[in-house]
Every structure is written in structure tokens, then in C-alpha cells.
């Protein structure tokens, strides 16, 4: 169990040590949890719109420090500078217009069959949340988790990835600079290794655990909580009574999104968007378009366009504004890409482009060239025997492509997945569009969409193994519960007085 | 209404505190079509600041509001009575904006100052006074795109 006291944060491209920062220990994590919990009432002293206004003001602060934040994101995250723009814009937009989320948690009145209105549903924050963020987004996801909790009135502890915590530390100091009210109810935990998750699970003060992680890690967290429950079981009454309470678990997990290209669209345009959607941030995105399903009528022609676009991608120094592909986040990702491609080769899959690594032998400057692998459709249907690249998330720049004979075939292939985050389809046929909307098995369907949207309506979550609970969409609505209040005073008070 | 039929009127221009605000309002009055996405009754402030610190303290050197009526716009000194939002601009940004040759160039520069805020070169920002959904319904989202403040997503990040 690693419980180091200091962490060296390195530049992902050059290996230069950017900063050495103090790391938390199990004791300091528990201390922070207590402090934050003790301050959570400060958030309740403000209403939703006051908190929303403060987050909106904070979005201005972020914008004025955009250059500084972008430099940090690029250095510690390895994200190309032009992608860091999107990374910041998505969270700045979310914060700027965060009162928009009120529509999901606004108190509602229910009308009975007899027309009476004695019932109200009031949305109450769950309480202290622990949030764990991944390495691929140094600021957008951890800050979004933080902001969503602040907005609805939950205290929160956020654990950014220890591979890239500096941007969030800077974001926190910007909150301090602007004297953000109730900041005591928020804190960061800088903790390497899985033990931090156990500290969150152990603490009875933490009501919600939200993570953005792989589906397998998410399931492991559930198993670990089950083990904690087991250890505290009381059998003194002859039946097993679990003394630990339920926790709320919100997992936004892996995606293995299908991208369908039908034979009635501008292939050159779609190929451009496809490459952006598939290889942005070196493909290290849960919502990246990973399994390409192309109509047989245009399959060969589309592949030509696609390869042309893929081979235009420039990889290298992420500070160069013309760089499209930055270094990978870790050696583990590089190894995973190699394993997936090697596995696909065993199935006789064709490699159209890429499949080469750049490995200086260190833990930085690691690249895998954007890769396109053809998987025969007959290999895709049985998920127990499909190539690893088809059945699991390729969290790097390797993408699969397969051929669909018709619409029905395309939908069958798209749905042949254990994941269901997003599905993307391109067609100009209005009837086909409706079929996609109805039959694609994903929580978020994008039809003829440009990639990398920053609009406030962009949703999170998925179905199948892409999210738990299935279908969660916007954190603010997941971080509250609906309290049912029946108030019969108007008709009963006279009888009771 | 056709763009060329839109009117603009500057009211009490002598009441503006600064020459820069007078020049800027004269400039804006040439392009009432920039505001054509906003519904009649929309009213918002343009606040000019000489530093980010002054902006943090909400102490503009001058302020005027643009009111959208059925025929075009009215530009008035001071804050709107019930302002929808405040568009905050640094003096340096305004000095550059009024040098632009046409509304396309103006929108591009406004977008540049929004997306690349810089104390030295210039910056713009905005503060919402009403709920986002209300402002969307009033047309401010479309206005922001026309005015160059919101970019097409493809422009924000394009390979």
C-alpha cells in the first residue's frame, strides 16, 4: 500500500518535474472529510441561485486565467493545447450558465385525481460527496463534479488524478482568491493509490461516492464496499444486520461508442468529424467514437477518406498549436493499445494505418500512432469471442471499423456491445434517423452531430456498463433526492384544532 | 423586418461620461442588425472598465444600455432599469473595436477578446442578471453567436 508523503508531478511530454506537492495520508483524508462535513451547512445559507451566481462569477475568473490553466493542462495532462481549449470551455460554459440545471431540481406540485394540490416534491441534497476523477481531464471533470455539488448544496471532497492534480490545485486557489463563500465545504484530496477510495468508503460521513472511471474499477469499488459491509455485520440477533448504511454510488464509466455512417451522406465531411470524434485527446475519452460501422455501399470509399484524415493528424509536442495528438497518459495505456492490436491480428484483422509506438523507455513522451483496424462483421456479434478491441473500451488512439450491409445490420452491430454511453449516426434519410433514435441502445444518441460540442445540454452517463445507475444525465439531478411532502393542513386543520 | 429597415437611436448622448462611450455608441448605432436576434423589450448594459480590478469591484468608468424595440434599438446612458445582463468591456478592447471596418470584423474582434482575455490587449466578459433559460428565450444565445461571443464548436476545436 503506497502512502507517500510527496508527489512529483511530471510533464507528460518532456518528463520535467513540474512541482513536488504534499500528498495526503489516510489520517489527513479523514481529517479533511470531517472538516468539510462540519462546514456543509454554510452552503445551505445560500439558495440555489446565489450559488449559481457565484459559480458563474468563478467562470469569469477561469476565463481570465485561461492561458495559465491551458499551459498546466498541457504540461501535466499531455493534452494538445488546442484540445485544452475544449477542456476548459466545456467547464466554463457549464459554470457560467449553471442556473440552467434548476429545471431538473425545481420543486414541483403534484395534483391529485380530485384536483387537490397537497403534495410537493422538494429536492434535497444527499450530503457530503466524495468525487474521484480520471487522468484524461485535468480540470473539466473534477471541477464539474465539484461545481455540481456546490450548486445543489452538497459539501464535496474531490480527488483529482495524482497524475495531473496541479490544474485543480490552481482552480482551488482561484476560488480562495475570490473568497468564494462556503469554500470550507469543499476540499481536494491528493492521494495516490486505491487506499483513498477505501478511506471514502469507510467514512460514514460520506453519503455519495461518484467516480469517472473504467467500468471494471467501478465494480471493484462496489465489491470493496460489500467487503466493508460484511466486516461490520452484527449477527447477535440471529440474523445478519449490516451496521453500515447504504451509500449513493454514481459511476460514469467506459464507453465503446458506435459511429454509424450510412451511404447517403457527404463522406468527406463525415470523415473529418469522425477523426475528430475518434482521436481527440489521443482517443483517451469515454465518449470517443470507437467502433465505426460503415454501410457496405460506401465502405471502401469511406475508408480512403478516413485514412487521408487520420494520416493528417500531427502528433508530438502538445504545446505546439498544430499538434493533434499528445503523449499518452501512462505506459499502461500504451501497453493496452499494443495488446488490443496484437489480439486483433490474431483474428486476422487488417491494420489500415498506425499500429506503431514511440517509446523512449521512460514514463513520459509515450505515443501510439493513430490506428485503424478492420474487424470482420461476423467477428463482432458474439461478445464472448469478439476481438478485445471490439468488446472492450480502447482508451487510446486505436479504432475499429466494420461493414454493415444495411440499416438493420448497422443497428445490430452498434448494439453488440456491453457498453451504452453514446451512439452516433450519420444519414440524410429522415426515416432512418427515426429508426436510429428508437433502436440504438445507448443513453445518448447523436444524429448528424458535430463532435466536441460545448453546449450546456451535453449530457453524461450511459446504460449497460457505461454508467451506474443507468441513464444518469446531469450531476446536479443525481446529487439530490426528491422528498415527498403531503401537507393536508388546508383540509384537516379544522378537525385537529 | 429586413435588416436595412432596422433603426437605431442614441438618446441623451451628451449624458455619457466618456468620449469613448460616445464613440462606441455611435459605432454600434451603425449596426442595429447585430441586435436583431433579441426580442422586443430586451435591454442590457454595456459597461466599460479601465482594469480587471475595477471589473471585480463592479466600478465601470461608463455605462450605457441598449434597448430593443419593435423597429430596432435605442441606446441610452446609464444602466437599464431591469437589465437582462451586463456586457463588460475593457477600455482597450473598446478602442480596438471601434476601429473595425464592418460588423463582421467587429464580431471577430469581439469574439477574440472574449476567447483570449488579456489585461494588456483587451478583454470582454458578461454577467447574467436573469436566469439562463429566460435569456435563451429572449434570443441572447443567438445574439451572442451573431456578435462573435459564442463560437461555432468546430472553430473552438478543429483538427
Which among A57, A83, A313 has CB closest to B157?
A83
A468 contacts: CB under 8 Å, gap ≥ 6: A218, A249, A250, A251, A253
Interval A206-250: pLDDT, tens:
999 999 999 999 999 999 999 999 999 999 999 999 999 999 999
Which among A49, A102, A452 has CB closest to B153?
A452
Residue B158 belongs to a domain: no
Return the CATH number at B133.
3.30.1050
CB–CB of B159 and A456 under 8 A?
no
Q: Taking CA atoms, what residue in B is nearest to A98?
A: B132
d(CA A422, CA A444): 5
Q: Are strands B43-49 and B62-68 parallel, antiparallel or unpaired?
A: antiparallel
d(CA B42, CA B35): 10
Residue B92 belongs to a domain: yes
d(CA A415, CA A191): 38
Residue B76 belongs to a domain: yes
Interval A416-467: pLDDT, tens:
999 999 999 999 999 999 999 999 999 999 999 988 777 888 888 899 999 9
A458 at the B interface (CB within 8 A)? no
Domain total of chain B: 1
pTM of the model as a whole: 0.94
Phi and psi (nearest 5°) for A89? -60, -40
Residue B159 belongs to a domain: no
Residues 39-78 of B with CB under 8 A from A: 52
Residue A203 confidence (pLDDT): 96
Residue B151 confidence (pLDDT): 61
Architecture of domain A6-253+471-483: 3-Layer(aba) Sandwich (3.40)
- The segments of chain A whose pLDDT lies below 70 read 1-3, 193
Four-residue CA torsion sign, B68, B71, B73, B78: negative
Residue B77 belongs to a domain: yes
CB B87 within 8 A of CB B124: yes
**Whole domain around residue B98: which residue ranges?**
3-153
Domain ranges of chain A: 6-253+471-483, 257-455
Q: In terms of DSSP H, where are the helices of A280-358?
A: 299-312, 331-346
d(CA A433, CA A431): 5
Which residues on chain B are in Cβ contact (under 8 Å) with A453? Answer: 153
d(CA A267, CA A136): 30
**Residue-level length of chain B:** 159
B154 at the A interface (CB within 8 A)? yes
CB–CB of A276 and B158 under 8 A?
yes
Number of neighbouring beta carbons within 10 Å of residue A394: 27
Q: Is the peptide bond before A469 cis (omega within 30 degrees of 0)?
A: yes
Is pLDDT at B159 greater than 50 in this prediction? no
CA dihedral B49, B53, B54, B55 (to 10 degrees): 60
Architecture of domain A257-455: 3-Layer(aba) Sandwich (3.40)
| DSSP bridge partners of A251 | A211, A468
Residue B147 belongs to a domain: yes
Amino acid at each position: 500500500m503506497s502512502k507517500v508523503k510527496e508527489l512529483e508531478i511530471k510533464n507528460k511530454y518532456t518528463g520535467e518535474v513540474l512541482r513536488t506537492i504534499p500528498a495526503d495520508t489516510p489520517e489527513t483524508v479523514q481529517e479533511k472529510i470531517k472538516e468539510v462535513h462540519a462546514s456543509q451547512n454554510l452552503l445551505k445559507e445560500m439558495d440555489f441561485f446565489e450559488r449559481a451566481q457565484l459559480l458563474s462569477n468563478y467562470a469569469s475568473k477561469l476565463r481570465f486565467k485561461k492561458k495559465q490553466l491551458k499551459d498546466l493542462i498541457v504540461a501535466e495532462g499531455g493534452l494538445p493545447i488546442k484540445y485544452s481549449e475544449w477542456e476548459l470551455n466545456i467547464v466554463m460554459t457549464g459554470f457560467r450558465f449553471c442556473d440552467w440545471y434548476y429545471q431538473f431540481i425545481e420543486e414541483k406540485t403534484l395534483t391529485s385525481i380530485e384536483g387537490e394540490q397537497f403534495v410537493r416534491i422538494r429536492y434535497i441534497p444527499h450530503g457530503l460527496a466524495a468525487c474521484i476523477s480520471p487522468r484524461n481531464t485535468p480540470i473539466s471533470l473534477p471541477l464539474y463534479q465539484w461545481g455540481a455539488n456546490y450548486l445543489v448544496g452538497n459539501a464535496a471532497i474531490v480527488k483529482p488524478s495524482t497524475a495531473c492534480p496541479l490544474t485543480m490545485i490552481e482552480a482551488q486557489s482561484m476560488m480562495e482568491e475570490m473568497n468564494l463563500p462556503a469554500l470550507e465545504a469543499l476540499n481536494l484530496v491528493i492521494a495516490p493509490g486505491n487506499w483513498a477510495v477505501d478511506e471514502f468508503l469507510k467514512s460514514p460521513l460520506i453519503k455519495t461516492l461518484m467516480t469517472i472511471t473504467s467500468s471494471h474499477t467501478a465494480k471493484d469499488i462496489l465489491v470493496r464496499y460489500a467487503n466493508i459491509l460484511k466486516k461490520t455485520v452484527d449477527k447477535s440477533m440471529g440474523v445478519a444486520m449490516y451496521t453500515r448504511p447504504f451509500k449513493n454510488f454514481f459511476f460514469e464509466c467506459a464507453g465503446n461508442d458506435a459511429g454509424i455512417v450510412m451511404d447517403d451522406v457527404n463522406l468527406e465531411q463525415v470523415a473529418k468529424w469522425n477523426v475528430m470524434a475518434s482521436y481527440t485527446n489521443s482517443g483517451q475519452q469515454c465518449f470517443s467514437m470507437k467502433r465505426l460501422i460503415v454501410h457496405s455501399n460506401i465502405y471502401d470509399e469511406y475508408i480512403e477518406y478516413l485514412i487521408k484524415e487520420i494520416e493528417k493528424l500531427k502528433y508530438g509536442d502538445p504545446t505546439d498549436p498544430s499538434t493533434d495528438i499528445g503523449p499518452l497518459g501512462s505506459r499502461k495505456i500504451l501497453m493496452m493499445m499494443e495488446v488490443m492490436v496484437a489480439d486483433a491480428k490474431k483474428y486476422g484483422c487488417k491494420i489500415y494505418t498506425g499500429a506503431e509506438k514511440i517509446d523512449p523507455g521512460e514514463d513520459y513522451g509515450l505515443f501510439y500512432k493513430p490506428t485503424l483496424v478492420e474487424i470482420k462483421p461476423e467477428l463482432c456479434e458474439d461478445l464472448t469471442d469478439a476481438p478485445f478491441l471490439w468488446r472492450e473500451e480502447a482508451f487510446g488512439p486505436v479504432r475499429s471499423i466494420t461493414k454493415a450491409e444495411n440499416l438493420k445490420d448497422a443497428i445490430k452491430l452498434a448494439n453488440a456491445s456491453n457498453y451504452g454511453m453514446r451512439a452516433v449516426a450519420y444519414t440524410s434519410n429522415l426515416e432512418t434517423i427515426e429508426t436510429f433514435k428508437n433502436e440504438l441502445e445507448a443513453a445518448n444518441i447523436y444524429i448528424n452531430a458535430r463532435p466536441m460540442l460545448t453546449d450546456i445540454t451535453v449530457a453524461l452517463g450511459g446504460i449497460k456498463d457505461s454508467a451506474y445507475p443507468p441513464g444518469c444525465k446531469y450531476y446536479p439531478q443525481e446529487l439530490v433526492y426528491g422528498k415527498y411532502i403531503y401537507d393536508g393542513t388546508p383540509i384537516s386543520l379544522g378537525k385537529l384544532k | 423586418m429586413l435588416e436595412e429597415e432596422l433603426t437605431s437611436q442614441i438618446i441623451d448622448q451628451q449624458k455619457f461620461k466618456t468620449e469613448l462611450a460616445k464613440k462606441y455608441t455611435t459605432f454600434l448605432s451603425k449596426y442595429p442588425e447585430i441586435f436583431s436576434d433579441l426580442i422586443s423589450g430586451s435591454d442590457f448594459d454595456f459597461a466599460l472598465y479601465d482594469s480587471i480590478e475595477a471589473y471585480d469591484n463592479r466600478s465601470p468608468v461608463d455605462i450605457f444600455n441598449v434597448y430593443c424595440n419593435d423597429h430596432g434599438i435605442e441606446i441610452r446612458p446609464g444602466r437599464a432599469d431591469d437589465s437582462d445582463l451586463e456586457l463588460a468591456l475593457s477600455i482597450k478592447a473598446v478602442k480596438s473595436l471601434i476601429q473595425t471596418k464592418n460588423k463582421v470584423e467587429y464580431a471577430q474582434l469581439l469574439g477574440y477578446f472574449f476567447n483570449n482575455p488579456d489585461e494588456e490587449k483587451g478583454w470582454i466578459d458578461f454577467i447574467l442578471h436573469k436566469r439562463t433559460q429566460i435569456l435563451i428565450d429572449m434570443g441572447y444565445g443567438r445574439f451572442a453567436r451573431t456578435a462573435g461571443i459564442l463560437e461555432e464548436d468546430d472553430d473552438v476545436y478543429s483538427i
